[in-house]
Amino acid sequence: QSALTQPPSASGSPGQSVTISCTGTSSDVGGYNYVSWYQQHPGKAPKLMIFEVTERPSGVPDRFSGSKSGNTASLTVSGLQAEDEADYYCSSYAGTNNFVFGTGTKVTVL
């Protein structure tokens, strides 16, 4: 199984929006509506930000939103804040108790 493809970096000024893409195949992203997004600060465990493509867990700000078209999913962070600076990883269920992760995107708040 191959990792999902994400851009290595993305950036924006405070208050702006940034969108991160996550490209897979019909065996993972395109085959299931089970795409998740994780935020990871240095030295910390990943934190679930989006699940089932568009859903936010309790406590996650509505500035975070997800979408999917075909084999590509996207995460948009609107109204960027300093604390949003982190690494972001997408993940997709790939059937039979299996998951695949993205290559990761470092988001910088300018």
* Given 64, 104, 107, 109, the residue binding another protein (CB under 8 A): 104
Q: How far is the CB of 73 from another protein (least distance, A)?
A: 13
Q: Does 23 bind another protein (CB under 8 A)?
A: no
Residue 6 CB, shortest distance to another protein, in Å, is 9
Which residue from 23, 71, 74, 91 is in contact with another protein, where contact means CB under 8 A? 91
Distance (Å, whole) CA 41 – CA 64: 16
Is residue 52 a contact point for another protein (CB under 8 A)? Answer: yes
- Binding residues for another protein, rule: CB under 8 A, are 1, 3, 32, 34, 36, 38, 45-46, 48, 51-52, 57, 89, 91, 93, 96-104
